[in-house]
Amino acid sequence: MEIRNLGRSGLKVSVVGLGCNNFGGRTGIEESRAVIHAALDHGVTLFDSADIYGNRGGSEVALGQWLGSRRKDIVLASKFGMAMDDEGRKAGGSRRYIMQAVEDSLRRLKTDWIDLYQFHRPDPATPIEETLRALGDLITQGKVRYIGCSNMAPWAVVDARWTADTRSLSSFICAQDEYSLLHRTPEAELIPALRAKGMGLLPYYPLASGLLSGKYTKGAALSGDTRFGKDARSRDRYMTEANWTRVDKLDAFARAHGRDLLTLAFSWLAAQDVVSSVIAGATRPEQIAANVAAASWNLTPAELAEIDALTA
């Protein structure tokens, strides 16, 4: 497993990370054990969770229950900011809430520290300086080692870094955002900003919610146990004519090189200089092995240019 620095920080992560959003929900607490242990066995060191994952807390509970003594061997990441109650009081980036949220996460995770604590989404009601000061205090207290952001507009990422730099505050070292062969919006503004600020990118939905997995066929009936079979909104968003055309071209490209679509999707992300780790979810142990193996294709500059033309 290749290990990379997260941006220009000293934090090192595996090039393939484990997205823990299914734990405690789609993947029950007990079933999560096999997936967690498979990830450890395959050299995955970045485990990415959030307080809201698993029906508000289930993902962190699963990790706390099954990591055991191996907790010290991994980079444990979690997030805060999305509503943890129906009223919306337990949410946001205020100092008051952050101090409560981190204690709740530490308790569920059964750990004394979180390696990477990420602001899950912007809070327009709270100044970013207040959020950064609170997170900096958590670093000083040893409860958090590094901080990152997620789903922030490019201008907001730059503003947060400027605020940190000009006020001598702790800075975000990474951003976690959707990025894949079928969703390349970050290339316009976010990725140039991350490069300029020395921040790493942790792409989620690397397979475009499964459309790049190779398990779907255009026009075929959808199984009720698949994401697109269950979620009409995701199906309508990704299963467009334009995307199917791109998928057909990408699949043909992969097959011409003796590879499959899954390998192309992971390896293309791993080839991007700003990407530190590809966040991939799994509900079964065998998916871990497939995801790890899929990042092994070292694409050449000529191949990357050809892929760009196919997805234009």
Residue 233 token pair? 């909104």
Residue 303 token pair? 């191949």
> Helix, strand or coil for residue 145?
strand
Residue 278, Ramachandran bin (φ over 0: left; ψ between -120 and 50: alpha; else beta): beta
Q: How far apart are CA 99 and CA 135, in angstroms?
A: 9
Q: How far apart are CA 173 and CA 118, in angstroms?
A: 10
Residue 226 token pair? 């698949």
Q: How far apart are CA 256 and CA 141, in angstroms?
A: 54
Give kind and range of the element (H or E) at residue 246: helix 241-256
273 Cβ contact list (under 8 Å, min separation 6): 195
Identify whether 97 is a catalytic site residue. Answer: no
Residue 268's alpha-carbon distances to 83, 220, 274, 278, in angstroms, are 34, 27, 12, 10
* Ranges assigned E (strand) in the chain: 3-5, 12-14, 16-19, 46-48, 75-80, 114-119, 144-150, 172-178, 200-204, 278-281
Query: Which of 271, 274, 278 is closest to 303 using CA atoms?
Result: 271
Which of 53, 179, 204, 238 is catalytic? The answer is: 53
The secondary structure of 265-308 as a DSSP string is HHHHHHTSTTB--EEEE-SSHHHHHHHHHHTT----HHHHHHHH
Q: Which residues are marked as active site?
A: 53
